[in-house]
Chain A
């Protein structure tokens, strides 16, 4: 069978990315232009600034992805793009560019769901991985526990009721003065702290055992800080963030393992920006080993937003003949498993 090469574009938040992926499993290139330095000035992603940077960066990023892969547009079989969920202004840049590129070169266009892309990052990292499996997708914008039935069939088992896990990391990091981005900074600081110094509550939602809630843990951290301040006590920051991280990781691991047990699964996958967290990776790995379940996580470069994962997910859409029209729009709240 002929190799299928897909040029993929991702611009759903603050990374402008392009990649060339062969047969969904091999990334020939994976270019990521991060705007993190700009947004750090504002303590978080500013949508209008992100959109402006995307339009500046996108053509050089696409060109670099082709050059790195040693291919030209003639070698490309389809153009893929993230069309949701994400920031609408950011998504629109990638969507308009991808559509125009596909139109000008006469190639088919594939719209990809951002979260399906995060899950597919594991297909690049682990050539043997095939559905069905359980997937935990955790990032600054998303916390989903998903049953991946097939490459294009997803069942959402649990989701956050309030903050995404990564959002809770950012908010706590800001409150304790670690700054943005919170995830990596808390991860680092927590290494020198005691994760059991303070017991923070792990929320359970009545009637929805797989759903998450992180705003309670975040509020408990803020209350702890306020109380200490009122009493004039100094807070051990490393202990505090290690304990916070422990509470979040416990919730994520417990729910995931519960799903694995209940459905008698033999594979668990994690994905998304927060899957780069070293405590989460270690705890999940240990829990999987204890139950004899294969554990998969992407290398760090594929945890962050990137286009290689979009190219991988797009390949399975290509195989099914799921192509998009020139009226493809950005859908900021696109549901998992939905097709345009």
Chain B
């Protein structure tokens, strides 16, 4: 199975090709250029160097969020455009799950990917890796404050492996609560397409592929206008956070 994977949810723009679980190629840029200008030239170069034609692909996988709203849409539109002509199936990969898949055999700690969500919050989830490498969700993806994440992880009562660009936001709180935390080294902790591809392989095995029409980002946050409108209508904060 040939998978093209795209990751543009955070600062890194990344694409990868895998064949039956092997990472054949992976290109990543983390230089603050806009994903709009870097992503497709990287995919083009990667396909050219590996002799891959778009209609050879079995799956186009996209990191579907949460993350930067604009980054997610650039990745999603790129993936949808590549998948549309040949009705290629798509994997809509939860970004945090992809990040966990990238390091899933590295530790028997509970893997906690965190992405900076601004306003003192992170997007977070927690997974534990089984002996065969499959991941079990311990904490579902959410927008969460440092204090609340600390509480959730204390309740799990496990050693923690933290990864992602949200580490700086939550680490002080986790450490001061006395949690046993290890931080993934920077060379492993950015969001990258190889993790998305490996996640997509698992999703394909589970029959979780979708059409390119159905693929859309998952933001976990409403737009500011929608939040304001809901607040004006006196809805509770909890309901206001729930979305698509």
Residues in A63-105 with C-beta less than 8 Å from chain B: 63, 73, 88-89, 92-101, 103-105
Q: Residues of A contacting B80 with CB < 8 Å?
A: 55, 58-59, 97, 100
A42 engages B225 (CB within 8 Å):
yes
A-chain residues with CB within 8 Å of residue B225 when the two chains form the complex: 42, 46, 48-49
Q: Tell me the bound Cα distance from A97 to B39 in angstroms.
A: 12
The B interface, classified by DSSP as helix, strand, loop or mixed, is helix
CB neighbours (8 Å) of A103 from chain B are 40, 43-44, 54, 81-82
* A47-B43 Cα distance, complex, nearest whole Å: 28
CA distance A100 to B81 in the complex (A): 5
Q: Cβ of B82: which chain A residues have Cβ within 8 Å of it?
A: 100-101, 103-104
> Please, how many angstroms separate the alpha-carbon atoms of A60 and B80 in the complex?
11
A97 touches B81 (CB 8 A): yes
Number of contacts between A and B (CB, 8 Å)? Answer: 112
User: Which residues in B have their C-beta under 8 angstroms from that of A99?
Assistant: 40, 78, 81
B41 to chain A, nearest CB (A): 5
**Main SS at interface, chain A:** helix
A60→B43 CA distance, assembly (Å): 24
Complex CA–CA separation, A93 to B74 (angstroms): 6
- Which of the segments B30-38, B103-111, B128-136 contacts the partner chain? B30-38
Beta-carbon contacts of B62-95 to A below 8 Å, as 1s and 0s? 0000000110011011111111111000000000
Cross-chain contact A55 with B40 (CB below 8 angstroms) = no
> How far apart sit A51 and B225, CA to CA, in the bound complex (Å)?
13
A139, B82: Cα distance in complex, Å: 33
Across-interface contacts of A93 in B (CB, < 8 A)? 73, 77
**How distant is the Cα of A103 from the Cα of B52 in the complex, in angstroms?**
12
Give chain A interface residues in 19-71, CB to chain B under 8 Å.
41-42, 46, 48-49, 51-52, 54-56, 58-60, 62-63
Question: Which of A113-121, A211-219, A322-330 is the interface stretch?
Answer: A322-330
Q: Which residue of A lies closest to B213 (CB)?
A: A59
Looking at B38, B40, B212, which has the most chain A CB atoms within 10 Å of its CB?
B40
| B85 close to A55 (CB less than 8 A) | no
Q: Is B50 an interface residue (CB 8 A)?
A: no
> What per-residue 1/0 map shows which CB atoms of A327-340 lie under 8 Å from chain B?
11110000000000
Which of B146-154, B184-192, B215-223 interfaces with chain A?
B215-223
| Given A49-B225, A93-B77, A104 contacting B70 (CB threshold 8 A) | no
Q: Flag if A96 contacts B73 (CB, 8 Å).
A: yes
**Chain A residue with Cβ nearest B221:** A48
Could you say which of A48, A56, A104 has the most chain B C-beta atoms within 10 Å of its C-beta?
A: A104
Partner of A96, one of B69, B78, B217: B78
Q: Interface residue tally of chain B, by bracket? A: 35 or more
Provide the bound-state CA to CA distance between A60 and B216, in Å: 12
Collect the chain A residues with CB atoms within 8 Å of residue B182's CB.
none
A55 to B226, CA, bound (A): 18
Does B224 sit at the interface, judged by CB under 8 A? yes
Q: How far does the alpha carbon of A42 sit from the alpha carbon of B223 in the complex, in Å? A: 12
**In the complex, what distance in Å separates the CA atom of A46 from the CA atom of B38?**
27
Cβ–Cβ contact A89 & B44, under 8 A: no
State whether A55 and B76 are in contact (beta carbons under 8 Å apart), knowing that A92-B36, A95-B36 are contacts in the complex. Answer: yes
Is the pair B84, A104 in contact by a Cβ cutoff of 8 Å?
Answer: yes
Check if A100 sits within 8 Å of B78, measured CB to CB: yes
Q: List CB contacts (< 8 Å) of B190-230 with chain A.
A: 212-213, 215-217, 219, 223-226, 229
Residues of A within 8 A of B54 (CB): 103-105
CA distance A92 to B223 in the complex (A): 17
- Decide: B84 and A89 in contact? CB cutoff 8 A: no
Q: CB-CB < 8 A to A55: which residues of B?
A: 73, 76-77, 80, 216-217
Q: List residues of chain A with CB under 8 Å of any chain B CB.
A: 41-42, 46, 48-49, 51-52, 54-56, 58-60, 62-63, 73, 88-89, 92-101, 103-105, 325-330
19 contacts between A and B (CB under 8 A): A48-B69, A52-B244, A55-B77, A58-B80, A59-B212, A60-B213, A63-B213, A96-B40, A99-B40, A99-B81, A100-B77, A100-B78, A100-B80, A103-B44, A104-B54, A104-B55, A104-B84, A104-B86, A327-B40
